[in-house]
Structure 1
Amino acid sequence: MTGTGVRAAARIVACGDGRGGTALPVLEGEGPLALRRTRGSGAEARVMVVGAMSGPLGGDRFGIEAHVAEGARLSVGSAAATIALPGQLKAPARYDVRLDVADGGELRWLPEQLISAKGSDLYVRTRVDVGTAGRLVLREEQVLGRVREEPGRLTSRLTVRVAGRTLLDQEVACGPGAPGGWDGPAVLAGHRAVGQLVVVRPEFATEPVTARMLGEGAAVTPLAGPAVLVSAVARDALLLRRVLDEALGHLGG
């Protein structure tokens, strides 16, 4: 920790082990971003991010990278929700995520929810690059405030590129100080859980998914490439997870 907050980084590299499975030659984490390999299934390796500290707090800078090589399959989750909290420093916190999936690689990025507690200020930046024949399932879930609590300020930007082409680049800002209308009928409409699911599969290029609504608070939107975006809002985290899980099931898991 420094006078400008905690600095922490984690890095995962997955590659084929030559026997039909996945090896993890790099599995490095520090401070609040401890990494643990858990039991996988088949050719897939699984990693859990285990929070060893509270946060991120004001002024903290967290970063995590995952690189999946050709022929490797990696699933990454987290042991618990991440809670953005206010700290002694008034500066905003930052959480950077960088994901790279090579041709023939597969990544399932399925962390638990990010909770924006009252008084916090967090900027999340997620950048994903997928090769032409790469496969991706990415889930983001954000909960605005704990039970009966006003949210903090949360800004989240997600960029997804496939074969060097940008398919998605969007930013959402919620909470005190965010642009007006974030909680209005055209955006969250009073809901306190918001999430999205991005699925990239080569077969979507020739068998595109049809745009449709999933109930009242979720929509499936095909992107301009082999990818699909599911956007959802819900009254709480439990319902949001149910909606996104159902959407993933409709897309073939």
Structure 2
Amino acid sequence: MTATGIRANARIVARADGRGGTALPVLAGDGPLALRRTRASGSEARVMLVGAMSGPLGGDRFSVEVRVEEGARLHVGSAAATIALPGQTKSEARYDVRLAVADDAELHWLPEQLISAGGSDLHVTTRAELGAGARLVLREEQVLGRAGEEPGRLTSRLTVRVAGRTVLDQELSCGPGAPGGWDGPAVLAGHRSVGQLVVVRPEFAEKTIIARAVRDSSVLVPLTASAILVTTVAPDAWLLRQSLDESLRSLDY
């Protein structure tokens, strides 16, 4: 911890164990970022990110690094929602996620919602680097404010690269001080929850996937022959999850 906030890092390395399963030679978290291995499912290792403290608060700097090596399968979830809260300092908090997935490796990155509480200021970046034959299911969900409160300031940037090529680089800024129009009809249209689902599978290249609406406020768009983006807005976190889950099922995943 420093005078301006907490610094915390979590690292996961998943590696094929040579017996049809996945080993975790690196599983390390400090401060509020605790990692717990849970029961494996077939060849897939499973890890839960457990928040050991409140936050991130103003001035905090959190980071998570995940590397899935060739032949490994990894599922990462979180035990509860992450709540961005105001801190004693007025500086923004940062939460950086770096994901690397090798050829013939698979990662399911499925954390619970991020809630932007009133008075908070959080900048989140998620960057995924994938090999040409990698598989990914990545879900992000943001909820603007708890029940009955205005949201804090939330800026979220998501970047996905496949085989060295950028297929997605988008940023959304919401809440007090964000560029005008973020709550208007062209962006959130008054909704309090927004989510993205990125699915990358080499097998998609053998199909014809057409952009389409999944629900009234959810759209599925192919990014490349192997990558698909689903963007959803909803009035609450429950409906947001339902829409993203329906989209994933529609891909027969």
Pairwise TM-score range, normalised by the shorter structure: over 0.9
Measure the CA separation in 2 of the matches of 1:234 and 1:208. 28
Contact 1:208/1:226 (8 A) holds in 2: no
Q: Which runs of 5+ in 1 are unaligned?
A: none
How many residue pairs match? The answer is 253
Could you say if the C-alpha distance between residues 208 and 32 of structure 1 is closer, same or farther in structure 2, counting changes exceeding 3 Å? farther
The question of 1:70 aligning with 2:70 is answered: yes
Secondary structure at the counterpart of residue 176 of structure 1: coil
The question of 1:157 aligning with 2:157 is answered: yes
Measure the CA separation in 1 of the matches of 2:11 and 2:196. 24
Deviation at 1:203, TM superposition (A): 1.3
The 5-angstrom pairing of residues 73-84 of structure 1 reads 73-84=73-84
Contact 1:167/1:225 (8 A) holds in 2: no
Deviation at 1:126, TM superposition (A): 0.5
Deviation at 1:64, TM superposition (A): 0.2
Measure the CA separation in 2 of the matches of 1:244 and 1:40. 24
Paired position in structure 2 for 1:92: 92
Contact 1:63/1:95 (8 A) holds in 2: yes
Paired position in structure 1 for 2:137: 137
Measure the CA separation in 1 of the matches of 2:96 and 2:38. 24
Q: Deviations over 1:169-202 (max 9, x none)?
A: 0000000000000000111111000001000000
Measure the CA separation in 1 of the matches of 2:40 and 2:239. 27
The 5-angstrom pairing of residues 201-216 of structure 1 reads 201-216=201-216
Deviation at 1:46, TM superposition (A): 0.3
Paired position in structure 1 for 2:23: 23
The runs of at least 4 consecutive aligned structure 1 residues that moved more than 3 Å come to none
Q: Deviations over 1:70-122 (max 9, x none)?
A: 11000000000000000001000000000000000000000000000000000
Q: Which runs of 5+ in 2 are unaligned?
A: none
Deviation at 1:243, TM superposition (A): 0.3
Secondary structure at the counterpart of residue 77 of structure 2: strand
Measure the CA separation in 2 of the matches of 1:148 and 1:189. 18
What TM-score comes out, normalization by structure 1 length?
A: 0.99
The question of 1:102 aligning with 2:102 is answered: yes
The 5-angstrom pairing of residues 221-236 of structure 1 reads 221-236=221-236
Deviation at 1:160, TM superposition (A): 0.1
Measure the CA separation in 1 of the matches of 2:203 and 2:63. 32
Paired position in structure 2 for 1:242: 242
Matched AA of 2:74: L
Matched AA of 2:228: V
Matched AA of 1:105: A
Deviation at 1:224, TM superposition (A): 2.6
Paired position in structure 2 for 1:196: 196
Measure the CA separation in 2 of the matches of 1:44 and 1:209. 27
Paired position in structure 1 for 2:186: 186
What TM-score comes out, normalization by structure 2 length?
A: 0.99
Paired position in structure 2 for 1:172: 172
Give RMSD over aligned pairs: 0.6
Measure the CA separation in 2 of the matches of 1:176 and 1:99. 30
Deviation at 1:234, TM superposition (A): 0.2
Q: Share of identical aligned residues, percent?
A: 74
